[in-house]
Amino acid sequence: MKFSNFLFPESESADSDYEVLRDTLKEAELSEELGFEYLWLGEHHFDGTCSYADPVTFAAAVVARTKKAKIGFAAVQTALHHPIRLAEQVALLDNLSGGRIILGTTRGTAFNFYEYKGYGVNPEEAQERLIEVEEILRRVWTSSNFKYEGKHWQLELPVLRPSVYQKPHPPIIRAVAGEKSLKEMAQQARPFMMVLHPFDVTEHMINLYRDTMIASGHGLDVIQQCLADSWIWRNIVVAETDSEAMSIGLPAFETMKTRSGATRAGLLSKTEKDSISGDLGGARHTAQHGLIAGSAATVCEKLDDLKKLGIGGIIIHFRLGPMSWEENENSLRLFANKVAPEFE
């Protein structure tokens, strides 16, 4: 099972942006030094929950600070991007990194309607835009004299430069949350990134994915490879003892959730808040189901349960909300030195 660091730093105010961004680049360097082979970047705008906001631009800085780690997007909100601009940017990053880029895609946030408003995009169009953008990227990276006539994009260009470093193109993996999108990935024999769910829901979803692949006629070797290339999210804090880990992780997790909820409440209309209230109250937003905090032995036990599901990798959010650099560094080092080796 592969382990990775999800660099998703919260910045409580504009005054802290510089320090948080600086520390995040330090965290990228430290993660590679400790042996993490994958680093992931997210995308959220206007609220400070993701301090760098634009993962494509920030990825260039991470590329410059690292040498071997693969750098993935978890995930780019495709509805907010012009597909040709995105294709050029990812192709450039792929060359600058020597082929270390993984493009994770999503239609866009299900909660933060203000992000769509800020970019002048109708959220009702987000899923259609995702499908079009993925098709455009695959085709423009592998052809010349490119033409595309879609509902949202009408494009024509001779050839995209620079060309991508990885052939035929960087991996494209879609983030999923519900059964419908997961089954689509299974039917197409595509790996997935699955948002954080309670363990029983995660188990159900992976079994559904496997069963759908079988029903779609995919062979066992294809199913195993797709699962090996798939990822799930988890929030993890490691300390010397369970009590110490909980004393750090629990308030950090709860503060992170409280802050994001308060920010969202201040930026959404009543109608928008009512439309998402059910999901935001789900079990995955509680510490019981959304946080793994403990000693190395306790974390190993929790991760072993996930390994038995056959999933390939874990996208781990280590630095939760207001955690200090020292707390985060200690957690990273303990995970790298005492947890990861148990799964080699």
Q: State the pLDDT at residue 281.
A: 55
CA distances from 14 to 42, 72, 170 (A): 19, 26, 34
CB-CB neighbours of 162 under 10 Å:
11
pLDDT digits (tens, 9 = 90+) for 73-124: 999 999 999 999 999 999 999 999 999 999 999 998 878 899 999 999 999 9
Q: State the pLDDT at residue 284.
A: 73
CA angle 294, 300, 303 (to 5 degrees): 105
Instruction: Identify the CATH number of the domain defined by range 2-343.
Output: 3.20.20.30
**What is the three-class DSSP state of 6?**
strand
Q: What is the dihedral of CA 31, 33, 36, 42, to 10 degrees?
A: 30
CA angle 202, 133, 98 (to 5 degrees): 80
Residues in Cβ contact with 291 at an 8 Å cutoff, skipping those fewer than 6 apart: 235, 236, 237, 249, 250, 253, 320
Q: State the pLDDT at residue 1.
A: 94
Question: Which residues of the chain register pLDDT less than 70?
Answer: 277-283
317, 269 Cβ separation under 8 angstroms: no
**Strand 192-194 versus strand 231-238 pairing type:** parallel
Pairwise CA distance, residues 111 & 142, whole Å: 34
CA–centroid distance for 7 within its chain: 9
Pairwise CA distance, residues 177 & 107, whole Å: 11
Q: State the pLDDT at residue 45.
A: 95
DSSP E strands in the chain: the ranges are: 2-7, 38-41, 70-73, 76-77, 101-106, 146-149, 154-157, 172-176, 192-194, 231-238, 292-294, 313-317
Nearest to 55 by CA among 104, 98, 109: 104
pLDDT digits (tens, 9 = 90+) for 187-197: 999 999 999 99
CB-CB neighbours of 333 under 10 Å:
14
Residues in Cβ contact with 279 at an 8 Å cutoff, skipping those fewer than 6 apart: 110, 111
Q: State the pLDDT at residue 108.
A: 84
Q: State the pLDDT at residue 50.
A: 95
CA distances from 318 to 205, 206, 223, 228, 322 (A): 24, 24, 30, 22, 11
**Strand 146-149 versus strand 154-157 pairing type:** antiparallel
Q: What is the DSSP string of 146-165?
A: EEEE-SS-EEEES--SSPPS
Return left, alpha or beta for 36; rule: phi > 0 is left, psi -120 to 50 is alpha, else beta. Answer: beta
Nearest to 181 by CA among 124, 112, 106: 106
